[in-house]
Amino acid sequence: MRARAPLGVVVVGYGYWGPNIVRNVIERPELELIALCERDQTQAQRFRSRHPGIETWPDFDELLADARVDAVCIATPPRTHYELARKALEAGKHVLVEKPLATTVAHAEALVDLAQRKELVLMPGHTFLYSPPVNKIHALIESGELGEVYFVTSSRMNLGIYQADGVVRDLAPHDLSILLYWLDRRVASVSAAGCTVFNPEVPETAFLTLRFEDGPSANVQVSWLAPRKVRQMIVVGSRKMVQYDDTIPDGAVRIYDRGLDLEIGAPSNYGEHRLTYRSGDIVAPRIDAAEPLSLELGDFANSILTGARPRSHAELGLEVVRVLEAAQVSLSGAGEPVVLARGGEIVARSGSFAPDGGTA
Ligand SMILES: NC(=O)c1ccc[n+]([C@@H]2O[C@H](COP(=O)([O-])OP(=O)(O)OC[C@H]3O[C@@H](n4cnc5c(N)ncnc54)[C@H](O)[C@@H]3O)[C@@H](O)[C@H]2O)c1
């Protein structure tokens, strides 16, 4: 039997991101915050002073036995995601787990399988899939306005907080989830090079090159060591190009009617073909303001209540983890390309890349 609104929710973890989830759960009419689960008493006290009257529980296992709890939102560090999500699903709770879904492909696959068997919603928290500018660009790609997408570049850098899980697991899930959503095809190969200044075990900068099935490629730079916050993506298509700068509040998306065309048969000094440059208008479309996390939680509630697949679905979360794992393998192999087979498993760490996803 399907649960009814309002759905009883427990948020787990009240560090940096947890308070944002708590605030949005409280504001969403389909959800009711039953309690916070936080094992650090200083953080729990911070929550109590902001939300007097709402319970705090230090023990995760205890909340699973409570029949008022329909769903848990997990906002703890990545290395804890698998155990917490597994226990919650086994106890019959729907799960929203922060990105990345898990730290290994084996764990992510086990969670996807468990959620399917239990007929429960398992949703990774890929918040950018609910960002209005990201969705504007998704619509531009889907409608064909950009033409064939040739490549995407992405830079996500700032003077960031060092975390034991490393910059690739911390920041790259955002770029990877956006790229998988926009391009709607699997990643065929990944190569990654890192730069480690302070701790050899924790690279604070990484450069990823991704080749997607059937053509487009992407380059992703992530770093916690940069002079200012950079959140920029550029999509280059055969008809138009787009710049997305998430640090510009009212003009995050700019559409450039620019490009190069090849005139076949036109006389030129360089052979039979001539390149002509197009330089048309630059348009900054109006984009409605909305808080992505609120939309994400609304989608989570809707999936539980109606059975619809959330936009940030478990298989997309698994694909992100596959690419992250392949990137880690490439990082430890001095940047050699890692080829991902159709089933997601790594089939080769070196050798030239073939477009069908195999090795040439
Ligand atoms: N979607 C986004 O845009 C976004 C942004 C930032 C962080 N995140 C994600 O949110 C998650 C948390 O990141 P953070 O920066 O808030 O981490 P954090 O370390 O600041 O906070 C984690 C909190 O979880 C608590 N905790 C850990 N294990 C626990 C357990 N077993 N039971 C109860 N409490 C426990 C800790 O005491 C801590 O207070 C990560 O997965 C991160 O990737 C997502």
Q: Where are the domains of the chain?
A: 7-128+292-312, 132-290+321-348
Give 76 Cα–ligand 1 centroid separation in angstroms. 3
pLDDT in tens, 177-190: 999 999 999 999 99
Ligand 1 site, residue 43, Cβ cutoff 6 A: yes
Our answer on whether the CB atom of 12 is closer than 6 Å to any ligand 1 atom is: yes
Longest dimension (CA), the chain: 79
Is 13 close to ligand 1, i.e. is its CB under 6 Å away?
Answer: yes
pLDDT at 138: 98
Q: Is residue 246 pLDDT above 90, yes or no?
A: yes
Angle at 117 between CA 116 and CA 122, to 5 degrees: 35
Q: What is the C-alpha R_g of the chain? A: 22
What local confidence, expressed as pLDDT, does residue 265 receive? 66
Is residue 75 lining ligand 1, measured as CB closer than 6 Å? Answer: yes
Distances (CA, A) of 271 to 23, 123, 221, 259, 278: 63, 54, 37, 21, 21
Band of residue 353 on the pLDDT scale cut at 50, 70, 90: very low
What rounded mean pLDDT belongs to the chain?
92
Give the predicted TM-score (pTM) of the model.
0.94
**Atom 30 in ligand 1: which residue has the minimum CA distance?**
39
Report how far ligand 1's centroid is from the alpha carbon of 347 (Å). 33
Residue 292 CB–ligand 1 contact under 6 Å: no
CATH class of 7-128+292-312: alpha beta
- How many Å apart are CA 57 and CA 46, to the nearest integer? 13
User: Which fold is adopted by the domain 132-290+321-348?
Assistant: Dihydrodipicolinate Reductase; domain 2 (3.30.360)
Would you say the CB of residue 16 lies under 6 angstroms from ligand 1?
yes
- Kindly report, residue by residue over 25-67, the tens digit of the pLDDT: 999 999 999 999 999 999 999 999 999 999 999 999 989 999 9
At residue 271, the pLDDT reads 58
19 CA → ligand 1 middle, Å: 10
Q: How confident is the model over 8-18, as pLDDT tens digits?
A: 999 999 999 99
14 within ligand 1 shell (Cβ under 6 A): yes
Residue 244's nearest CA partner among 167, 145, 137 is 137
Segment 117-141, tens digit of pLDDT: 999 999 999 999 999 999 999 999 9
**How far is Cα 208 from Cα 294, in angstroms, rounded to an integer?**
30
Residue 356 has pLDDT above 60, yes or no: no
Place of tokens 């490549």: 151
